[in-house]
Amino acid sequence: MAVDVVVIGAGLAGLRAATRLAESGLEVELLEASDAVGGRQRTDEVDGFLLDRGFQILNPAYPAVRRWVDMPALRLKTFPVGVRVRRADRSVELRHPLRHPTGIPATLLSGLVTPRDVAALARWLGPALVRPKTVISGPDRTLAEGWDRTGIRGALRTEVLEPFLTGVLAEADAETSDAFARLLVRMFALGAPGVPERGMGALPAQLAASAGRAGAGIRIGARATRVRTSTARIDVDVDGGDALRARAVIVAVGPEAAGDLIDIPRPETRGLQTWWFAPDAAPPASALLAVDGRRNGPIVNTVVMSHSAPSYAPPGRHLVQATCLLSTEASEADVRRQLAEIWEVDTRPWQLLRRDDIAHALPAQPSPLRVASPAQVGDRLYVAGDHRDTASIQGALVSGDRVARAVLRDLGTTRPPAGAG
């Protein structure tokens, strides 16, 4: 079979690329090795609970999400914007002062934020809020160095920012790019993240429906085993099926698998582990994401999903997630003990529904920040994915679109994509 473009991998990047190409009138075949689209964004229904494959959230402030995702259709269930911090003697809540003004007194009384901290935070985050482009193009350093330079220290750093960003960046040493971290925190300041009513998997499902409507063929359970280029053509071998011939191939298989098909260095990745629990009776009262400022155990964040997204649990039940770094040895006993300390409830009767170990959750994002790697890596051969742009939903979508535009330019298609801004 011959088509214009074969896209390998139906994660967010591959789905966005296939949609753009099909909307431009090209014949596109999308190959997905697993049993459904979505890649790292999948949701399973387990005993009436919705379990994402690893806790993650969707920020509607991401420009790529605003542009290419039908957010009303996903019915986002947003979390309150703030964080609950377990301190040595008590728990305190910090809320976004503009979104939850009633939380300001508690924030001021928390003992975590002094006027000096507010000034340091403004020095660190201000440029990203006001002129994000200068953060992208300016000098970069590690996050730890960025905090040192701007004077972020004390409890705000050790009990709030470090534990919170450990979960977001999937690393505990603040060695990620300072610019990347600031741009991410900017998004938290601007958006109210949440989860789609039917789980994170609803996002790629929506993108796949758009790709299908635009005319892209999507083959599930179709693993590409080899990409063969010659001067005149490019072929993709498919496990157990006929090879596909194309004018161009986009490899969008995720950071751990790209090196199996094309000759690029394997990007460093970071792993996360999520534990899903169903409390027996009344769950912890707070709907805020909680971190452990004492760092007394493997958990980097935990939240009662069903307070903000009741659809994640059957009627009358609740769902709690607890996330750890995969690199940390976490026993179930450790997790239950720390959860009990964070939420101040007895977690021994909680039912463990599932544990997700995601070895390649996020590509590392070292300093200096590199926002885009080349779209093309060989004759007729392109590569897309979050590891080529930035480690996020935003990065994956932008990458897919950017690479599709490069293919369109090279194949000489001039027809504008339907509905694209």
User: Which of 113, 290, 393, 398 is in the footprint of ligand FAD by CB under 6 A?
Assistant: 393
Look at the block and give the residue holding tokens 């004759």: 379
The reply on whether position 254 binds ligand FAD by CB under 6 A is yes
Nearest to ligand FAD of 65, 112 (CB atom): 65
387 token code pair: 């590891």
User: Which of 248, 396, 403, 407 is in the footprint of ligand FAD by CB under 6 A?
Assistant: 396
The reply on whether position 273 binds ligand FAD by CB under 6 A is no
Residues listed for the chain: 421
Nearest to ligand FAD of 150, 323 (CB atom): 323
Is the C-alpha dihedral spanning 67, 267, 324, 35 positive or negative?
Answer: positive
- CA dihedral 408→413→417→421, nearest 10 degrees, is 70
Nearest to ligand FAD of 14, 284 (CB atom): 14
Q: Residue 71 carries which DSSP code?
A: H
The reply on whether position 13 binds ligand FAD by CB under 6 A is yes
User: Which of 19, 56, 210, 367 is in the footprint of ligand FAD by CB under 6 A?
Assistant: 56
Shortest Å distance, C-beta 261 to ligand FAD: 6
| Rounded (5°) CA angle 273-277-281 | 160
| Rounded (5°) CA angle 201-194-52 | 35
Shortest Å distance, C-beta 321 to ligand FAD: 10
Q: Which range of residues in 54-62, 115-123, 297-305, 410-418 is near ligand FAD by CB under 6 A?
A: 54-62
- Print the SS3 string covering 193-246: CEEECCCCCHHHHHHHHHHHHHCCEEEECCCEEEEEECCCCEEEEECCCCCEEE
Q: Residue 268 carries which DSSP code?
A: P
Shortest Å distance, C-beta 176 to ligand FAD: 14
CA–CA dist 298, 301 (Å, integer): 9
Q: Which range of residues in 91-99, 209-217, 285-293, 387-395 is near ligand FAD by CB under 6 A?
A: 387-395
User: Which of 113, 120, 362, 398 is in the footprint of ligand FAD by CB under 6 A?
Assistant: 362
Q: Which range of residues in 103-111, 337-345, 368-376, 389-397 is near ligand FAD by CB under 6 A?
A: 389-397
Is the C-alpha dihedral spanning 172, 176, 178, 184 positive or negative?
Answer: negative
Q: Which range of residues in 9-17, 91-99, 131-139, 412-420 is near ligand FAD by CB under 6 A?
A: 9-17
Q: Which range of residues in 96-104, 282-290, 300-308, 358-366 is near ligand FAD by CB under 6 A?
A: 358-366
Shortest Å distance, C-beta 94 to ligand FAD: 19
Cis peptide leading into residue 127 (ω within 30°)? no
Rg, Å, the chain Cα set: 22
Nearest to ligand FAD of 57, 161 (CB atom): 57
The reply on whether position 293 binds ligand FAD by CB under 6 A is no
Nearest to ligand FAD of 234, 345 (CB atom): 234
Within 283-416, where are the H helices? Answer: 305-308, 332-343, 393-411
Nearest to ligand FAD of 9, 283 (CB atom): 9
Residue pair 41/254 in contact (Cβ under 8 Å)? The answer is: no
The reply on whether position 26 binds ligand FAD by CB under 6 A is no
Nearest to ligand FAD of 286, 323 (CB atom): 323
CA–CA dist 267, 252 (Å, integer): 14
Is the C-alpha dihedral spanning 76, 77, 83, 86 positive or negative?
Answer: negative
Number of residues that bind ligand FAD (CB under 6 A): 33
The reply on whether position 57 binds ligand FAD by CB under 6 A is yes
Residues 6+ apart with CB under 8 A from 410: 248, 376, 380
Residues that bind ligand FAD (CB under 6 A): 8-14, 31-34, 39-41, 54, 56-57, 223-224, 252-254, 257, 272, 358, 361-362, 385-386, 391-393, 396
